[in-house]
Amino acid sequence: MIHEVAAIQIKPEAGILFERAFLRAVPLFERAKGCRFIRLERSVEDPLRYLIVIGWDMIEDHVSGFRSSEDYGRWRDLVGDLFAAPPLVDHTEVIVAYSLKDIG
As averages over each run of 10 residues, the pLDDT of the chain (104 residues) reads 98 96 97 98 98 98 95 97 98 90 66
The CATH number of the domain holding residue 64 is 3.30.70.100
The pLDDT of residue 98 is 86
Split into its structural domains, the chain has a count of: 1
Q: In the prediction, which pLDDT does 94 show? A: 93
Q: Measure the CA–CA gap between 65 and 61, rounded to whole angstroms.
A: 5
Q: Which residues of 49-81 are buried (b: 16+ CB within 10 A; e: fewer)?
A: ebebebbbeeeebbeebbbeeebeeebeebbee
* Residue 92 confidence (pLDDT): 98
Which structural domain range is residue 68 located in?
A: 2-92
With DSSP H G I counted as helix, E B as strand and the rest as coil, what are the percentages for the chain, rounded to 5? 40, 30, 35
